[in-house]
Each structure stands twice: as C-alpha cells, then as structure tokens.
Structure 1
C-alpha cells in the first residue's frame, strides 16, 4: 500500500491579483491534510467522502472515466494526467483501489477554506505516480497537479496546489492556465511538464523567526470560484484601475517576500497591513464584499492586541490571519476572537508533504 498526504493552505498576500497570469502571492501550508491510500486490487475502485458510495473508474479512449460521478472533478483529472504520463513512460496499466480522506474541514462538515481540492490533486498525483514507479521532483509534481486542477477550474491561480506541493512558506507566481492546457493538448502530458512554463514560480521561503501565524474562522464558508468569477466579470468597467491594483498587489507581495527572507518583522507587518488595505480598495473597485463584518472584527481585534492582520483567500467569509510578535498576548487575542464569535483554529505551518509505502 502507498499512502501520501498533502497539506492545506492559507493565502498570506496576493489574493485576486494572483489569478492573472504572472500575478504573485505568498502562501503558507498548514497541518490539516488530505490523505490518499492506493493499493493493488481486483478492480479499479475509488472511495471518498466526496462520493456517497464507492465508485469504479476505467480507462477509455479519451483518458479516465469515473462511473457514477455526477460531473468531471479533480479526482478524475488527477487520475487522467498520471495515467497519461504512465502510458507515455511505458509503464504497464495497474488495477488500483484508491481511498481519499480529508481533515481539512471541521468534523461537522463546515469548510474552513484551506484549499481541499488542491491538496486532493497533489496527494493523488503523488500516490499514483509512486504506484507507477514514476519518480517526480517537486516541480514536475506541481505541473502535473496544475494541469489536473486547471482542467476542471482554469480560472484558479494554482497557489493552493503549489502550497500543498512544497509546504512551508512559499512565494508563488502563476503561469497562464490556458496556455498550459493548450500545450498539454498539443504535445501530451509528458512533454508538457518538461517544457518551460513562462511566469511560473514556486519558491520556498524561510519561516519568520519572531512572528507566529494565528488563524481565526468566521463561521461563514465562502466560494472562492464564485468570488473570482464575479471579479473577472467586473473588470471591463475600468481596466486601468484594475491594472493599478494588480501592480500594487505584486509590489506588496515582493516587499513581503523580501522581508520574510530578511526576517524583518517590522517590514513583514507593514506588508500585511498594506495587503489588507489593497484588498479594501479592490473590494470597492469590483463591488465584491471581501472583508465581511466578521473578518473586519477579526482583524481589528488582532490589531488592537498589536498583531498585523488581514483576511485570507478570496474573503467573503472563511478565515483571517494575524501575524503576532512575542509582545502580543496570544491567549488574550484568542479569547477576544472567541468572545466575538470567531473560532481560533489550532493550525501550524507544515514543512512539506510525505509518502509512505508498506505491504498490504
């Protein structure tokens, strides 16, 4: 049996701008995981909380099909890219039982916004490649997972995929999803992951030495895909203003990444506050509610204790983050959040995914 796991993620800065090709962000991987177990079996089967019952999967002339799935999803897309790579590499077909489990969400089913689809793809691609004896370096794993993710959601940035692949703190710059998918269609998966992808960058960053990452959940799940799509539709009204936001966001992200590399606490905090202000301007420009009243309360309570805070991800609910130095009373901040209806999440930064192999 092969077992892999991939962590969830949180955006630290760069939201919305990173969905544009060449846009940048800083993210962090956290210790909630998707786990995938793969073993030899008599039939190709698939079990996941995402499905109401075990399903079967099969190879057909156009890739991989999951019998009984209501619509194409990232599980089928991940199967498809690895099967294509295995065939191109001369690997024999395998009959596999695949189980997917997640602890990225709460036990009551509430979604925290930790990027479950990206973690599913990374863990599944990693497990299937290991089963096929296809050694992957981090960049190849990332590209395979991006191809699978973008096949289902080409408007996504891929930042969640990068964080789940590399772990830790991460500087990310997005590639052009449409160009990557066209390249795959033109030359095949194996050749596509070996060619240059203009713009793509996934670079580990050091962990800030004096700052703790604190995370609060507002209790209101948000749909990232829906918010991003609304953002795209609103841009035609004032392209110059949107270009200005993208440029300012990328400058803030570059400043944040440089400050993290230098372990400069004051500059990190300044960049976090600048990122929050930038998202406020973008919300006014696009008409999207990014910082809900609950997220505003989360941030303001953290700032009152001396931490630098902002929403994380597309906003509209989900999580906010605070970077707290040694002078911040973290227990008091957690109590403030709880009193305000915000759930402190017990999350820690996780360095990187892992794989285990054992006998059945």
Structure 2
C-alpha cells in the first residue's frame, strides 16, 4: 500500500419507480432507478497519526485520533454532522481487522451535495455517502469487492444506527442500475448485529433479492439485449419533503388499507416483466396504477407540484408519477416520444418544476 496514493471514487443517487412505501414491509418489492448525479471522494493514508474527514456539506473538517475507531464508547460522542461517515468508518475498521490488515489513519474528502441553494434533491444523499465511504476504504486497501458486498456492508452501517429504511436506496446505489429489489426482514438482521460478529452477519443469508433490469451496450452483449427504449426524466419540484414525518403518517394509512400491499406487489412484479419486454403500453399502465394507489393511500403524498408534474403528461406519450416519500422532492417520467419530451419539459418549466436529470434508455 503506497502511503502517498490518492484513490478516487464516486456514487450516484436513486429514485423509486414503483413500490415505495410498500417496500418498508419485509418481503415486498420495488423498482428503483439510479440517477447519475454523483458524490465523489478522495482518500489517502495520512502523514500523521490522525484521521481527517471533510464533506462539503459542512464548512469545517473533522480531525480524530488514531484509536478513535477502536473504542465503541467514543462513537457516541462523534460530531453530529459527521456521525454517519464515522459510523461507516467504524464498521469498516472492524471489517479490515477481519482481513488481518493493519489499520492506518487516512484523509477522506467527500464532495457533491446533491442539493441546490440548501434544498436537497431527495435522491438518496445519506445512502450515497455511506456507500461512498465504504467503497473508498475498500479501494484504499486494494480489496476486491462485489456489488453485493457493498450493499451488505452499507446496510449493516445503517441497521447498526437504527435506520428504519427498506435499504432499497442502498441496493440501487450499490448496483448503480435500474433494479428490482425485494426487501428483507431488517428487525431480524438488526437482532443478529447485536449478538453476532460482523463476519457472521455478512455470511448470513439475509433473504433479499436484487436483480438488474437494464444493461449498457457493453454489458448487453454478455447479458442479453435491452428491449426498453425511452427517455427517463426527473422533475424536481424544489419543495423538500419532510420524509420521516410523512413516512410515519403514511404507515398508518397502510395499516388501514388492507389491499394496498397486495395491489402494489402485483404492479411491481408486472412492471418488472414489461420493462424487460419493452412493452410501452403496459409500462405506462403500471406507472399509472402505482401512482393512483399512492394518491389514494394518503393525500399527503401528492403535493400540488407533484400532481401538476404528473398531469402535465396527459395526452402525451409519457407516463409519470411521484417518487419516494412524496410530499415534494422529485417525480419521475418515462417518455416514448422525443417531441413529447420537449413539450413536457417546457410545461414543467412553466410550473416551476426543473428537469433535474434525463437519460436515454
């Protein structure tokens, strides 16, 4: 390991295409799309006996002693802003010990806020920063890693912190692709974390599924041709959602709506197949059905701007819906006509909705 080596990495964002909210129930499924707006990192071994951590989310760097990550008690006194990154470093220190590697302090710099003017895009910045920290440390030590290992290590970090998410964002950002994800029993794995070693937890079958649904030109020669042909659009409402509060409100609505989980699961599984087949009519139907299920589940999911984002596609060869928690942030659309793409983007602009990201599939 060269002491002066600087290693760079990047991680993308994500948005839900279908299955948000239902995915919080173990065994339910979702389809999630990578959004190639990136966070980037630079990491190198330190010249001193201290760790130096910097994120451009904050206007200062954090300096920690060499033995900081050897003491669980110190973890509870971490700087609040940097606690997520520090938790990831702590877990990775444990992982490095499993590999019988000598742990050395390093300098880690993370850039890319996934926000503008203090307003988050809502594309998974928390998940991205955890994955970026994990990847950075693995790369620094020249360790070979798989997408699955990134997913499990990053999920472990969040579960250890008591995160209540589905880990769907972690799955999508780890695989950097359009994926089908079936969620696992997080309470069961969290209980294992409390009583088993990191090594044993990683070796355990968590009982989830992650399947990639789209391949680039190089990959498609090896894994099969894509039938999907459209443009993926992300509209940003510039209205940040209060995700945690909204999720708690909607969870209650799901308890009262006995058919919601079953109906969404049918749509997600159907969408998985029609995306593979490139069936435009059925893709539009599935996106519309999932959007209606969310809208009928709880009035808080579709803000005024998100309703306008979706309705702007009426009479166009486009389907659209809210994405993720809703209540603000972003909506997604699939356009099957270039002229209609231009029309909807202009409609969004007049409504104060910004085209944040687009990608031809």
TM-score (norm 2): 0.88
Does 2:144 correspond to 1:135?
A: yes
CA–CA distance in 2 between the matches of 1:90 and 1:64? 23
Counterpart of 1:118 (choices 110, 113, 127) is: 127
Which has the higher relative contact order, 1 or 2, with Cα contacts under 8 A spaced 6 or more apart? 1
CA–CA distance in 1 between the matches of 2:78 and 2:86? 12
For structure 2, the 5+ residue unaligned runs are: 1-5, 215-225
Measured against aligned partners, the alpha-carbon deviations of 1:247-306 in whole angstroms (never above 9, x if no partner) come to 1111110000011111111111111001101101211xxxx5001111111100112323
Distance 1:280 1:313, change over 3 A: same
Equivalent residue, structure 1, for 2:296: 281
CA–CA distance in 1 between the matches of 2:162 and 2:115? 21
Q: Secondary structure at the match of 1:303?
A: coil
Equivalent residue, structure 2, for 1:202: 210
Q: Secondary structure at the match of 1:165?
A: helix
CA–CA distance in 1 between the matches of 2:37 and 2:44? 23
Q: Does the Cα contact within 8 Å between 1:28 and 1:349 map onto a contact in 2?
A: no
Equivalent residue, structure 1, for 2:237: 218
Q: Does the Cα contact within 8 Å between 1:299 and 1:310 map onto a contact in 2?
A: yes
Equivalent residue, structure 2, for 1:38: 43
Equivalent residue, structure 1, for 2:184: 175
Q: Secondary structure at the match of 1:215?
A: strand
Equivalent residue, structure 2, for 1:358: none
Measured against aligned partners, the alpha-carbon deviations of 1:37-62 in whole angstroms (never above 9, x if no partner) come to 11111121110123331112322322
CA–CA distance in 2 between the matches of 1:2 and 1:64? 28
- What CA RMSD, in Å, does the superposition of the two structures yield over aligned residues? 2.1
Relative to structure 2, which stretch is displaced further, 48-57 or 303-312?
A: 48-57
For structure 1, the 5+ residue unaligned runs are: 351-360
CA–CA distance in 1 between the matches of 2:78 and 2:152? 28
CA–CA distance in 2 between the matches of 1:19 and 1:220? 24
Q: Does the Cα contact within 8 Å between 1:75 and 1:120 map onto a contact in 2?
A: yes
Distance 1:333 1:232, change over 3 A: closer
Q: Does the Cα contact within 8 Å between 1:56 and 1:67 map onto a contact in 2?
A: no
Does 2:282 correspond to 1:267?
A: yes
TM-score (norm 1): 0.89
Equivalent residue, structure 2, for 1:13: 18
Correspondence 1:178-327 to 2 at 5 A = 178-198=187-207, 200-206=208-214, 209-233=228-252, 238=256, 241-242=257-258, 244-283=259-298, 288-326=299-337
Equivalent residue, structure 1, for 2:3: none
CA–CA distance in 2 between the matches of 1:170 and 1:224? 22
Distance 1:233 1:281, change over 3 A: closer
Superposed structure 1 runs of 4+ greater than 6 Å apart: none
The offset of 1:227, in angstroms, is 1.6
Does 2:342 correspond to 1:331?
A: yes
Distance 1:128 1:66, change over 3 A: farther
Counterpart of 2:166 (choices 140, 152, 157) is: 157
The offset of 1:66, in angstroms, is 8.3
Equivalent residue, structure 2, for 1:353: none
Q: Does the Cα contact within 8 Å between 1:18 and 1:24 map onto a contact in 2?
A: yes
The offset of 1:79, in angstroms, is 1.1
Q: Does the Cα contact within 8 Å between 1:55 and 1:68 map onto a contact in 2?
A: no
The offset of 1:29, in angstroms, is 0.4
Q: Secondary structure at the match of 2:115?
A: coil
Distance 1:166 1:35, change over 3 A: same
